[in-house]
Structure 1
Amino acid sequence: MSDEWKASAAGGGGDEKSWKLLEKTLLAGVQEQRRARRWGIFFKLLTFVYLFVALALFAPLLDWQKGAAKSGAHTALIEVRGMIADKEAASADNIVGSLRAAFEDANTKGVILRINSPGGSPVQSGYIYDEIRRLRGEYPAIKLYAVITDLGASGAYYIASAADQIYADKASLVGSIGVTAAGFGFVGVMEKLGVDRRVYASGEHKTFLDPFQPPKEEEARFWQGVLETTHRQFIDSVKLGRGERLKVDEYPELFSGLVWSGEQALELGLVDALGNSSYVAREVVGVEKLVDFTVQESPLDRFAKQLGAGVAGQVALWMGFQGPSLR
């Protein structure tokens, strides 16, 4: 309150006690607002802790229910969704762990690998491919079927080719048997901006993927050789998995990196038949009951992964430092 207001109040018959009472009333209102705010924060935190504890207590119940669902004859289902890469949902660690659990379950009568992926790391795809072939050898009575939904390309098809049979929808996109490694070059931009690139390295070709330096012809040939070697490994694995079902002689562009519809892929020998997961479980395996063996991330894991997204890694990929990718 201003001095003028106090004086006005005194002149109008007010006194110092009235002013102090009004001041105390205002202060009490402010304190009450602060107290209410603190209690609001406390109850929000308490609610968060309650939900966290409830989730922790409920998780074992979910595991128990999942275990109960696995009792009795069933067809195991494993999802391969998104990029096939380390630390992703479709990483080799996750997929291989799910495969082992499915094959080792005494009630599993068949395994379906449901695929919707554009591909990814040739290393991760190779790990999964090798494990599928190993498990098929160890459990010959259990057949593994790859079912491609929207997309089964590159590294995803690499994995699918290890299956006993491959199914797809008539409109699925299948194939893309090739290898790519892409980046950007900023040499012209740096020249226009008048920026000098200063790199200190040991080894003549240590910086051959540096996007801020002009490419050298011999280094480009070397990198192309690396990609062609990886492509050959990819082709060899697909041929081993698919055998004589591939119409390579009729369609020499089969390994050119092109992608086909499911209907076309059937003619090429890339898939064995058209159908979805339910159809395969019911008509092929003979056990309609599907049990999901896919590794599931907890809400806390997903939250932590979002917080810990590798910004530096993404920048490195954007600038052209990524390794080969099956796409």
Structure 2
Amino acid sequence: MTDPNRPDFPGSQGSNEPAMTDLWGAGGTPAAATSSAGAGAKPGWERDVLEKLVFSTLKEQRSARRWRNFLRLAWLLVVIGIAVVLFSRETTTTSKSTAHTAVVDIKGEIAAGNEASAEFVVAALRSAFEDSGSKAVVLLINSPGGSPVQAGIINDEIYRLKAKHNKPVYAVVEETCASAAYYIASAADDIYVDKASIVGSIGVLMDGFGFTGTMEKLGVERRLLTAGENKGFLDPFSPQSEQQRAFALQMLEQIHQQFIGVVKKGRGDRLKETPETFSGLFWTGQQAVELGLADQLGNVSYVAREVVKAEEVIDYTRRDNVAERLVKKFGAAMGAGAVQTVQSNALQVR
């Protein structure tokens, strides 16, 4: 042990080294802090600082709690708003509505899941026909075509509703009425177009790509396993035999004849058939009138005012509202997440 009374101990009378400073006062408080506090602070300053620190912490906690409550309330209001929009869809008709012209839009690609799907269009048509105030139904068309199945469902339903409610149906073409869109329009009593509209394209196609030559040049081997010799005949990486090509063409021809039959049924004697009529060509609205594919020039206002004699136009189109689009996107995201989870688990099992 070191003796502080030794002459060589630092700070002793016999030592040349400076004496060590006592950093702690008698009360356990650093000497520098004591001297500083004594020089410029009032007695009890430590308590004041501690109180300020505690109050500041409590204030921050209360602020954070209020912000969390606000966010929770905001999300609750959003969820309630979505639910209200979903379950209280605005209706455009009543059983005692005044005389008007009912309009149903058919816009964009005609396909399942789109606004121009058979599900949406048929629902809108039923509402329009069932309203006692609607004097006629106008199909407002601007579509390049789409699924022959969806178009066929809509076409059949138009004939059924016309017979049941004894109301006329008119088709009004905006920019385009081609392929499956014309399939639908042919069920109308009359077709009105703009002189620059695109009308026709009465045909069927099946498109795709073939990469077999490219794969051979790159030295890539396609390994496709099927049960059934024709199971993969539409695979773009496999060669297509003449038998498979003939089968596909036969199927397209059958659907094409169905299309031709629908057009002839709808247009009747008005159709001035030529070798190009059912070739897949399309024409301007003015040419379509000359060929009997359309009846005359006109728009929705003209048809409502001059043909239906009911100038008030009410839109019956069934559309996805904002809430439904959000729900669909959310569902798609959840589905993708579930698939990823399953795949991840499968990989872990392996």
TM-score by length of 1: 0.80
Listed one character per residue, the Cα deviations across residues 66-108 of structure 1 (whole Å, up to 9, x for unaligned) are: 3459611111111111111112211112212222222222222
2:307 is aligned to 284
Structure 1 counterpart of 2:162, one-letter code: R
Which runs of 5 or more structure 2 residues have no equivalent in the other structure? 1-29, 39-43, 337-350
Q: 1:253 is paired with a residue of what secondary structure?
A: coil
Larger radius of gyration: 2
Which runs of 5 or more structure 1 residues have no equivalent in the other structure? 1-6, 313-327
Among 71, 75, 78, the alignment partner of 1:44 is 71
Deviation at 1:51, TM superposition (A): 3.9
The answer to whether the 8 Å contact 1:78/1:113 transfers is yes
The answer to whether the 8 Å contact 1:70/1:291 transfers is no
Aligned CA distance change for structure 1 residues 99 and 67 (closer, same or farther; 3 Å): closer
The answer to whether the 8 Å contact 1:73/1:287 transfers is yes
Inter-partner Cα distance in structure 2 for 1:44 and 1:83:
40
Inter-partner Cα distance in structure 1 for 2:232 and 2:299:
47
1:197 is aligned to 222
Among 322, 332, 347, the alignment partner of 1:299 is 322
Among 107, 111, 118, the alignment partner of 1:85 is 111
* Structure with more helix by fraction: 1
1:169 is aligned to 194
Inter-partner Cα distance in structure 2 for 1:175 and 1:256:
10
Aligned CA distance change for structure 1 residues 81 and 308 (closer, same or farther; 3 Å): farther
Aligned CA distance change for structure 1 residues 13 and 72 (closer, same or farther; 3 Å): same
Question: Number of residue pairs matched?
Answer: 301
Aligned CA distance change for structure 1 residues 99 and 20 (closer, same or farther; 3 Å): same
Aligned CA distance change for structure 1 residues 85 and 23 (closer, same or farther; 3 Å): farther
Deviation at 1:180, TM superposition (A): 1.4
The yes-or-no answer on 1:73 pairing with 2:99 is: yes
Aligned CA distance change for structure 1 residues 55 and 219 (closer, same or farther; 3 Å): closer
1:316 is aligned to none
Deviates more, 1:37-46 or 1:227-236: 37-46
Aligned CA distance change for structure 1 residues 10 and 305 (closer, same or farther; 3 Å): same
Deviation at 1:23, TM superposition (A): 9.0
- Higher RCO, 1 vs 2 (CA within 8 Å, ≥6 residues apart): 1
What's the % identity of the aligned pairs?
Answer: 48
The answer to whether the 8 Å contact 1:77/1:294 transfers is yes
Aligned CA distance change for structure 1 residues 208 and 55 (closer, same or farther; 3 Å): closer
1:181 is aligned to 206
The answer to whether the 8 Å contact 1:79/1:113 transfers is yes
Deviation at 1:137, TM superposition (A): 2.3
The answer to whether the 8 Å contact 1:69/1:291 transfers is no
Listed one character per residue, the Cα deviations across residues 284-324 of structure 1 (whole Å, up to 9, x for unaligned) are: 00011112222232322111233455999xxxxxxxxxxxx
TM-score by length of 2: 0.75
Structure 2 counterpart of 1:178, one-letter code: G
Counterparts of residues 1-327 of structure 1 (less than 5 Å): 10=33, 13=36, 36-37=63-64, 39-54=66-81, 56-57=83-84, 63=90, 66-68=92-94, 71-140=97-166, 142-191=167-216, 194-249=219-274, 252-308=275-331
The answer to whether the 8 Å contact 1:120/1:154 transfers is yes
